[in-house]
Amino acid sequence: MIDILSPDGIALIEHTARCRTLLAFDFDGTLAPLVSDYREAAMRDTTRALFRMVAILYPSAVISGRDRGDLLRRLTKIPLVEAVGNHGAEDGALPDPRLVRQVSAWANALRSAFADQPEIEVEQKAASLAVHYRRAPDPVVAHSRALAAAQALPGARVFGGEAAVNVAPPGVPDKGAALEDMARRLGTSSVVFVGDDITDEDAFRSPAVTLSIRVGAAPESAARCCLPCQSQIEALLRAFVRARAHSAGLGERWIDLCGTPKPR
């Protein structure tokens, strides 16, 4: 994987800045650091300010496993072209009531299964659910139990996540499909996607994505590039701002206000 903040990585960013590029990001573990309680996740103030600048300069989107309403509350005053929830399944249209009922039934079944294990929490969302086990004293055992219970649900699509097992109805769009639809509607010639875990691999593998960046190196990932750790997200955002400003001829003094990521 190419370190996106290395000279080779910065060259890729500079190339995207010369195109009509859509920038898309995951939220938890990417724009916002991971926290023990998913309800407390938030961008740092400095990240928010930089991301707002990015969204002014590029068509920008966030695609998250969160409910879209939850996601939008964490992205106020950022001029996004799109915010997509439920791993790509929730783009603003009301979810199919049949899917909502199915997810609700699955959530009730899982809550019953883990009624005596408060360290395992079932989060019900509009078109998917997540079984969180980050607080479990033995995450390996908790993951095994959560996975087995989810796989026993009839017709469910089960996939991994960061300290969570995700469940969605079959056939709903994933992050890759959401990006492909978005790029087609916006008419972009280039798509960048930045994510951090297994739920983002559908986007990394998407033919619509021309530059894929994983937060944290992982040789098994389909991502072409990596950002070594989430704490460097601001350096990545600055690199995108600086590249677009430079391509637009805004002047070195203005560009220097963005800061310059140090090549690795």
Q: pLDDT, tens digit, for every residue of 112-135?
A: 999 999 999 999 998 899 999 998
* % pLDDT > 90, the chain: 75
Residue 260 reports pLDDT greater than 50: no
Q: According to the model, what pLDDT value does residue 215 have?
A: 97
Q: Distance (Å, rounded) from C-alpha 70 to C-alpha 66? A: 6
Cα 71 to its chain centre, rounded Å, is 11
- Identify the structural domains of the chain with CATH numbers, from first to last: 2-91+173-256 (3.40.50.1000), 97-168 (3.30.70.1020)
Q: Which residue has the tokens 């998917």?
A: 128
Residue 249 reports pLDDT greater than 50: yes
Residue 231 reports pLDDT greater than 80: yes
Residue 263 reports pLDDT greater than 50: no
Please give the model's pTM, rounded to 2 decimal places. 0.88
Q: Lowest-pLDDT range, 77-81, 160-164, 183-187?
A: 160-164
Residue 23 reports pLDDT greater than 90: yes
Residue 62 reports pLDDT greater than 80: yes
Q: Distance (Å, rounded) from C-alpha 24 to C-alpha 157? A: 24
Active site residues: 26
Question: Span 238-251, mean pLDDT?
Answer: 85
Structure confidence at residue 161 as a pLDDT band (50, 70, 90) = confident
Residue 261 reports pLDDT greater than 70: no
Structure confidence at residue 14 as a pLDDT band (50, 70, 90) = very high
